[in-house]
Structure 1
C-alpha cells in the first residue's frame, strides 16, 4: 500500500511538471497571437510552426487553437495540485472524481492531438517542433493519468474511454472537414508567392508608402510569413505596391536571399531605415503606420488613416 501511495505521488509530480511545460508552450503561442508579446516576427528557422499556426485549422471561434490547449493544461495542473493539497482520508469521493476528470481531460487532449498531427502531416505538410512538443505532452499526460487509475476501475475506464474517444474523434473530424478553407491559408499558398493584399489603400497610406520608398526605407519580407502579410495589409494593395520590398525567402519569387543573409536578418518583417547620412537602422516586427511615420521622419500631424 505504501508503495502504491509513493508511486501515485511521484506520478502526480511528473504530471504537474509536464502540464507546466505545456502551459508555457501554449501560453507563448497564444500571447504572441494576441500581441501581448512584444516580438511579433516570423523567424526564418521556424517557418513550419508559422505555417501550421496560420493554417485554416489553426483557429477555433476566431481564437488560436493554442488557447484551448492552454486551458486544458491549466485544468490538469490545477486538479493535480488539488489532489496533493486536499487530505485524501476525508475526501475520498472528491479525489475519485478529480482523478477521473483529469484522466478524461487528458484523453480529450490526446484524441484531438492525434487529429491535429494527422492534419499536420497529410494536409498542412510541415514540421512544427512546438506542435510536436504539445502532442507528446498530451499523450504522456494521458498515460500517466491512466497509471493512477486503481485496477478495480480498469473495466469501467476502458468502456468510458472508448465512448469518449469515439465522440471526440467524430466531433474533431466534422470540425476538420467543415473548416472554412476559403480563408487565407498560408500553408496552402503556392511556393514562393505571397498571399494577395485584400484591403484598399487611402491617399494618406499611399503618400506614406511613397515617402518611405523615396527615403530608401526597405521592408524585408518572406512570402510564407503571416506577419509580413499583416504588415502589408495595414498599407493596402495600392500602397504596398509602392514600398521598397525585398523578398528574403530562399524559394521566394525574385528573392535576394544572399543579401538578407549578409545583413543578418532572421526576423520578419524587418524595416531598414536610412537617415540623412545614409546610416541604417533595422527594426523587426509589425509596425503601425504612425510608428513608421515617426521612425522615418514623415511629418503628418493628423496621423495616417
Structure 2
C-alpha cells in the first residue's frame, strides 16, 4: 500500500526513494499502475449530481419553432370549430332559401311525412313575424353566421373587424337563433299540436348545434363574462316574438277593417265508401269539425270527405254571421279555444289543421275495412 501511495506522489523525473527495485516486484508494480489508472478514467467519464442535470440551452430558432407550433395547434382547433359554423350556417341558408321561395310564391312544400303538417305550419299565422315571412329571417341569420364562420376560418370577408369582435358577434347571433328556435318549438307543441314539421325540427337542430359550438369555443371561464349579454338577448327575442304574435292574433280576432259576409263553398268530389263509413263513425262518437267559411284548408278537408260524407260529419261554422265589426266568433268555437282552422275535437283530443282520413280514423279508433277503397 505504501508503494502505491508513494508512486502516486512521485513527480516525473524525480527518483522515488521508496520504490523497490524493478527487478524484484515486476508484477506488483504493474498491478498498482492498473489500479491507480482506473479512478482517473472513471472520474473523467461520469459525474455525480445532487439535482437533475440542467437542460441544454436551446439551439437558435428552436424557441421560435415551438411558439409557431403552439399557435398552429390552437389555430387548428379554432378553424375546426368555425368551419363547423360555416358549414351548418350554409345548410340552414339553403333550407330557408327554399322555404322563402315557397312562401313568396305561395307554393306547396314537399313534406316527407304524411298528414300535411308542413303546409299547416308554413301557412299558419305563426310563420310571419312583424309582417315578414319567418324563413326570410332565417335566411339572413344563417347566411350571416356562415360568413362569420368563414371569416374566423381565415377568409378576409370583414377586414375592418378584429377577431374578438367577430367572435362576440357570432355568439350574439347564435344565442338569438337558439332562443328563437326554442320559442318556435314551444309554439309548435302548444299552439299547433298535432302538426309535424321536419323543416322546423331540422332548423332547430342547426340553431342549437351552432349555439353549443360557439359556447364551447369560448370556454367556461371566458363565457362567464358574457352571460349577462346572452340573458338580455334572450329576453329581447322572447318579448319581440310574443308581441308580434299577440298583435297578429288581436288583428285576427278583431278584424274591424274587414267586412265579409258568410258564403258556402261547393263540394265537388264524390265520397268513397271509406269516407262515408268514417263519417258515420265520427258522428256516432260525437266528433266535431270546427271551421270557417273563408278558410281554404277547411274547404280542402271537406273535399277530402266528399259530398255525401260531409252531410254526415258534424261541422260547426265558427263565423256564422260573417267577419267584420260587431261580429264575433261562435261561442262553441270560443269554448274549444280554437287556435286555427280546421280543428277537430275527437273525444279528448284536439287536432289542429287539415287531417288525412287515415289519421282521423286512427285518432277516433275507427277500424278500417281493407275492402273499402280510401
Fold shared by both chains (TM-score > 0.5): yes
1:124 is aligned to 2:221: no
2:168 match: 100
1:197 is aligned to 2:294: yes
Find the aligned partners of 1:76 and 1:248 in 2 and give their Cα distance.
37
8 Å CA contact 1:79, 1:102 repeated in 2: yes
Find the aligned partners of 1:108 and 1:142 in 2 and give their Cα distance.
9
2:143 match: 74
Find the aligned partners of 1:118 and 1:58 in 2 and give their Cα distance.
14
2:102 match: 32
Question: 4+ residue runs of structure 1 moved beyond 4 angstroms?
Answer: 41-44, 190-195, 220-225
Q: Report the Cα offset of residue 92 of structure 1.
A: 9.9
Q: 1:93 to 1:150 in 2, by over 3 A?
A: farther
1:110 is aligned to 2:207: no
Find the aligned partners of 2:241 and 2:300 in 1 and give their Cα distance.
35
1:3 match: 73
Find the aligned partners of 2:303 and 2:98 in 1 and give their Cα distance.
21
Find the aligned partners of 2:303 and 2:212 in 1 and give their Cα distance.
37
Q: Report the Cα offset of residue 11 of structure 1.
A: 0.9
Find the aligned partners of 2:223 and 2:303 in 1 and give their Cα distance.
48
1:51 match: 120
Q: Report the Cα offset of residue 182 of structure 1.
A: 5.4
Listed as ranges, the gaps of 5+ residues in structure 1 are 185-189, 200-219, 226-246, 253-257, 264-305
8 Å CA contact 1:51, 1:224 repeated in 2: no
Q: 1:139 to 1:221 in 2, by over 3 A?
A: same
1:15 is aligned to 2:85: yes
8 Å CA contact 2:92, 2:206 repeated in 1: yes
Deviations 1:41-82 (A, max 9, x none): 675826112111112211123332111011100000111112
Deviations 1:207-240 (A, max 9, x none): xxxxxxxxxxxxx944699xxxxxxxxxxxxxxx
Find the aligned partners of 1:249 and 1:153 in 2 and give their Cα distance.
51
Find the aligned partners of 1:146 and 1:23 in 2 and give their Cα distance.
21
2:152 match: 83
Residue correspondences, number: 207
Find the aligned partners of 2:199 and 2:288 in 1 and give their Cα distance.
23
Q: In structure 1, which of residues 57, 63, 87 is the aligned counterpart of residue 132 of structure 2?
A: 63
Deviations 1:243-270 (A, max 9, x none): xxxx994149xxxxx9xx989xxxxxxx
8 Å CA contact 1:103, 1:146 repeated in 2: yes
Deviations 1:11-54 (A, max 9, x none): 11111111111111111111011129xx6467582611211111
8 Å CA contact 1:223, 1:249 repeated in 2: no
Find the aligned partners of 2:155 and 2:87 in 1 and give their Cα distance.
19
8 Å CA contact 2:109, 2:118 repeated in 1: no
Greater RCO, CA 8 A, separation 6+ = 1
Deviations 1:103-133 (A, max 9, x none): 1011111111111110100111122111011
Find the aligned partners of 2:225 and 2:303 in 1 and give their Cα distance.
48
Find the aligned partners of 2:234 and 2:220 in 1 and give their Cα distance.
21
Find the aligned partners of 2:163 and 2:145 in 1 and give their Cα distance.
14
Larger Rg: 1 or 2?
A: 2
* Structure-1-length-normalised TM-score: 0.57
* Structure-2-length-normalised TM-score: 0.47
